[in-house]
Amino acid sequence: MATNMRDIKREIKSKQNMKQITKAMEMVAASRLRRAQQAALASRPYADKLKEVVASIAAGTKDVKHPMLETREIKKTGYLVITSDRGLAGGYNANILRKVTQTIQQKHKSADEYALFVIGRKGRDYFRRRNMPIVEEVIGLADSPTFADIKSVSSSAVKMFADGSYDELYLYYNKFVNAISQIPTETRLLPLEEISEGTKVSTYEYEPSPEGVLEVLLPKYAETLIYSAVLDGKASEFGARMTAMGSATKNATKMISQLTLTYNRARQAAITQEISEIVAGANAQS
């Protein structure tokens, strides 16, 4: 009995230590979430305004030609996938990776038909283990990533589409809704042939020409969408981690309560047994 009680007490101590860790991680994630959420929300007006300008130019110049606006026969597809570098974030990574994998399995028969651009160590490791073709990767992003941090992979993804290395580019990320809700999202980033639909044409003066302006703005617009998705992903990551660690803390509290109850019952039983032995010994001597 004494040995069993020592084991229970050791288990309680272990769960208490675990609870302290998960509670600390929950508080850290909550602190980082506020900054990431502000950054994600702040990036959306810029992306929306840039889309408005690009759409207005494209709608006002119907004869404009640009590779990023033209639909081609689909021979190869590019996928840009945004994950995290660390785990302990619930289903944050698993949900988006499952969605990408299912799409690839349904659409492609061989690895020659698609290419992967990956942001985040979890996604990189996942695709490497499955020998899936990764063209470029970015890992080790800061908690508050800058555009320069993802410039290389976003530029490569956009440039390779413009060069004809593949014929469409999809973006996969977790869209931030709130701390407990993140939506695995698939967006066709390129081509941008639907960008001008339903757009009111604004009056702009172009220098040197609408085509020249689009030549600069279209790649920047696509890269801005990628960066905005990265910021959304960071906010989603911290929200998912805060929720996961909060759940872990609650579960640890329940386990500690159950173990404490078990320990008290075992202690009571041990005391009762000792009293019974003392009474029995006293009776035997009388």
**The tokens of 123 are what?**
């996604």
What average pLDDT score do residues 140-149 get?
93
Task: Give the pLDDT score at 61.
Answer: 63
What average pLDDT score do residues 41-67 get?
76
Share of the chain above pLDDT 70, in %: 91
Structure confidence at residue 209 as a pLDDT band (50, 70, 90): confident
Lowest mean pLDDT segment, chosen from 24-33, 96-105, 197-206 = 197-206
Which residue did the predictor score with more confidence, 285 or 135?
A: 135
What SS3 string covers 61-101? CCCCCCHHHCCCCCCCEEEEEECCCCCCCCCHHHHHHHHHH
The chain-wide mean pLDDT, for the chain, equals 88
Structure confidence at residue 192 as a pLDDT band (50, 70, 90): confident
What average pLDDT score do residues 26-48 get?
90
Task: Give the pLDDT score at 41.
Answer: 87
What helix, strand, coil percent values describe the chain, rounded to 5? 65, 15, 25
Domain boundaries, the chain: 26-243
- Model confidence at 197: pLDDT above 60: no
Structure confidence at residue 46 as a pLDDT band (50, 70, 90): confident
Task: Give the pLDDT score at 26.
Answer: 94
Which residue did the predictor score with more confidence, 132 or 67?
A: 132
Task: Give the pLDDT score at 284.
Answer: 74
The superfamily in CATH containing domain 26-243 is ATP synthase, F1 complex, gamma subunit (3.40.1380.10)
Structure confidence at residue 118 as a pLDDT band (50, 70, 90): very high
Task: Give residue-wise pLDDT tens across range 212-258.
Answer: 777 888 888 899 999 999 999 999 999 999 999 999 999 999 999 99
Task: Give the pLDDT score at 63.
Answer: 63
Helix (H, G, I), strand (E, B) or coil at 132: coil
Task: Give the pLDDT score at 3.
Answer: 60
Lowest mean pLDDT segment, chosen from 7-16, 92-101, 117-126 = 7-16
Structure confidence at residue 174 as a pLDDT band (50, 70, 90): very high
Rounded CA separation 273/280 (Å): 10
Task: Give the pLDDT score at 159.
Answer: 92
Task: Give residue-wise pLDDT tens across range 135-144.
Answer: 999 999 999 9
Rounded CA separation 91/41 (Å): 23
- Model confidence at 184: pLDDT above 80: yes
- Model confidence at 202: pLDDT above 80: no
Q: What is the largest CA-CA distance in the chain?
A: 116
CB burial of residue 27 (10 Å; 0-12, 13-18, 19+):
middle
Task: Give the pLDDT score at 128.
Answer: 96
∠ Cα 183 85 96 (to 5°)? 25
